[in-house]
Structure 1
Amino acid sequence: MRKHFHKKPNMYTSHVQLKVSNLTRSIEYYTTIIGFKVLEQTADIAYLTADGKTSLVSLIEIQNAQPLREGFTGLYHLALLLPTRKDLGNIVQHFVELNVRLGASDHDVSEALYLNDPDGNGIEIYVDRDESEWTWNEDGTVQMTTDRLNFQPILATADEKWDGLPQETVMGHVHLSVANLPQSENFYTNVLDYRVVARYGAQALFISTGQYHHHFGLNTWQSANGQVPTANMVGLNSFTIVLNDEQIAAKIKQELATNGYNTETYDAAPKFGGQQAFSTMDPNGLRIIFTMDGE
């Protein structure tokens, strides 16, 4: 598996926390359909794992939950990266057997499936093509398409041994619905030091570190000039970015302060994304947790 894009010194996302309206229903979906296992659970929160050690996704039940709506910022989708094409073939077979509705696209750099959880949170499950097959343009952008996915060669790799998400599954990227694209671009590139690697007109862009096709997507398709979600609205609660070391952490804290963004200490359990973390709110009112605990 080509995991070096999701290791230090890259700034990759290790964890996403979602607000849900019914924890029992969501656990059933994420374990039975998606293939997670429950690492730990309390009355109102569940930590989900693929490797039995760390949590990629956690679910927190909120009271008087309000549904997702257009016109708000938040999660467009979280994206789970599988180790091999065979794993994608196996989960496709699993979805077919359970008659799961899904979308699918060939993005040239990757092959992807798309689903929505019971609260409407978007989920992408994908496999990367080998990086030697990615096309980088002279301007430093990577070629990404949205073509019809050819399922036949994917299913041909399957060995019918699907037993939940593979242990090597990682959070491949996070795609955000933002209110203002130039403002979000400024924050993620000038403050956090990501690089733009692709643009879709004036409504979407993709950013990364280390020549990955994208660690984040940002778009305004359903959220242009959008409002910040209320606390009791289902959807994204936070996402965790792994930083390389204390020096990078200090630099980002300084950049955040210089640009008027507040930070606060965030004591998180290791399974949630590390200890001695700090957090901030991006321009869209979305909470980012920064940690140095990670690969």
Structure 2
Amino acid sequence: MGAVHLKVSDLERSTSYYTEVLGLSVLNRYAGLVRLTADGVHPLILLEQIPGALALPPGRHSGLYHFALLVPSRRDLGNALRHLIGRQVRLGSSDHGVSEALYLSDPDGIGIEIYRDRDRSEWTYLPGGQVFMRTDPLDAAGLLREAEVREWEGLPVGTRIGHVHLHVGDLNRAEAFYSRLLGFRIMLRYGPSALFAGAGGYHHHLGLNVWAGEGAPATPDRATGLKYFTIVNPDPDHIEWLLEEFAARSIPVDARGDGWYFKDPFGIGIRLTTCGIL
């Protein structure tokens, strides 16, 4: 997964939040965008201010549920938890078995997860080969014991976009698009309300749920939230096949110098690229 492009109502307020609270740094400012990074090279988040932005109640439209920043280690997650508690940030948390996670929202109500993965040898698999994920209380005290007693220096080098979790209007259509067309493997069916899909055996690069309601309408373009998320696919042959399939299915694609832009069946923006640096 590559960078996520977010639409915000106040660029300076959001930039301050993502740098001072979340712990990213500004990579550059160009063409009205602020690009944020953890390593000084790879953009993770792009911020764009939308004039007259609409602030919609959460959980009523297809679109972003949350995006997730994956940190390299449990100690890194403990450091983040210690910092966020010190900033008196309102948090949610969970132990998913495959990972430990913190949940928070930015000033526009955009959902954010910060998490660390357990080693794959610790994952539990169901009889059919699906990954077992649970929602248990987080061992926050254990995380804080892992934290380093030093001044917060921000999210560490190695932090990346781990996954995006989306509200969609129909799980069958979502599975047809993301799994049968784009090629992600379904890693877990969470009852009738959610799917988790990944590549390379990962527990999930995509979460897909109907918690906003079956047939949830697309998020309006003028609303704050996700403009697009990025899928990095280094296989040019697979991309060529996908583009042929898009043409055959009359899915509009905007080819630009940094990738191919299109939308899923629910109006959610996607950028497909062979390189995650741009």
With normalisation by structure 1, the TM-score equals 0.90
CA contact (8 A) 2:3 2:276 kept: no
Quote the residue 2:260 is aligned against: 278
CA contact (8 A) 1:191 1:256 kept: no
1:17-36 equivalence runs, <5 A:
17-36=5-24
Cα distance in 2 for residues equivalent to 1:75 and 1:262: 21
| Superposition pairs of residues 31-42 of structure 1, within 5 angstroms | 31-42=19-30
Compute the displacement of 1:195 (Å).
Answer: 0.8
Q: SS of the counterpart of 1:227?
A: coil
Greater CA drift, 158-167 or 208-217:
158-167
- What are the superposed Cα offsets for residues 69-128 of structure 1, whole Å, 9 maximum, x if unpaired? 342111100000000000011111101111111000000000000000000100000000
Q: Please name the residue that 2:149 is paired with.
A: 160
3-state SS of paired residue (1:14): coil
CA contact (8 A) 1:23 1:44 kept: no
- Measure, in 1, the Cα distance between the counterparts of 2:264 and 2:242: 13
User: Structure 2: how far apart are the matches of 1:202 and 1:278?
Assistant: 32
Contact 2:77 2:116 in 1 (8 A): yes
The aligned residue for residue 5 of structure 1 is none
Looking at structure 2, the residues matched to 73 and 121 of structure 1 have their Cα atoms a distance apart, in angstroms, of 13
Shift of 1:45: 1.8
Counterpart of 2:240 in structure 1: which amino acid? A
Asked whether the 8 Å contact 1:71–1:225 carries over to 2, the reply is: no
Matched, 1:88 2:70: no
Alignment counterpart, residue 181 of structure 1, candidates 171, 183, 197: 171
Q: 1:294 to 1:64 in 2, by over 3 A?
A: closer
* Partner-residue secondary structure (3-state), 2:2: strand
2:90 corresponds to which letter in structure 1? Answer: R
1:14 counterpart = 2:2: yes
**Structure 1 residue 15: deviation in Å?**
0.7
- Aligned residues: CA RMSD: 1.3
Structure 1's consecutive aligned runs of 4 or more residues displaced over 4 angstroms after TM superposition are none
Partners of 1:52 and 1:191 lie apart in 2 by: 34
Number of matched pairs: 275
Q: In the alignment, what sits opposite 1:271?
A: none
Partner of 1:248: 238
Compute the displacement of 1:160 (Å): 2.5
Cα contact 1:240–1:289 (8 A) shared by 2 = yes
> 1:25-104 alignment to 2 at 5 Å?
25-42=13-30, 44-69=32-57, 70-104=59-93
Letter in 1 for 2:146: T
**Alignment equivalent of 2:184, drawn from 194, 205, 229:** 194
Note if 1:263 corresponds to 2:253. Answer: yes
Distance in 2, Cα, partners of 1:40 & 1:184: 35
User: Which residue identity does 2:99 align to in structure 1?
Assistant: S
In 2, distance between residues paired with 1:223 and 1:266? 34
| 1:247 counterpart letter in structure 2 | D
Unaligned stretches of 5+ residues in structure 1: 1-12, 268-274
Q: Does 1:214 align with 2:204?
A: yes
- When structure 1 is superposed on structure 2, of 95-104 and 62-71 the one drifting more is 62-71
SS in 1 for 2:125: coil
Separation in 1 of the partners of 2:265 and 2:211?
Answer: 17
Provide Cα deviations, 1:155-181, integer angstroms capped at 9, x if missing partner.
111112431010100100000111111
Q: Distance in 2 between matches of 1:68 and 1:294?
A: 30
* Counterpart in the other structure of 2:270: 288
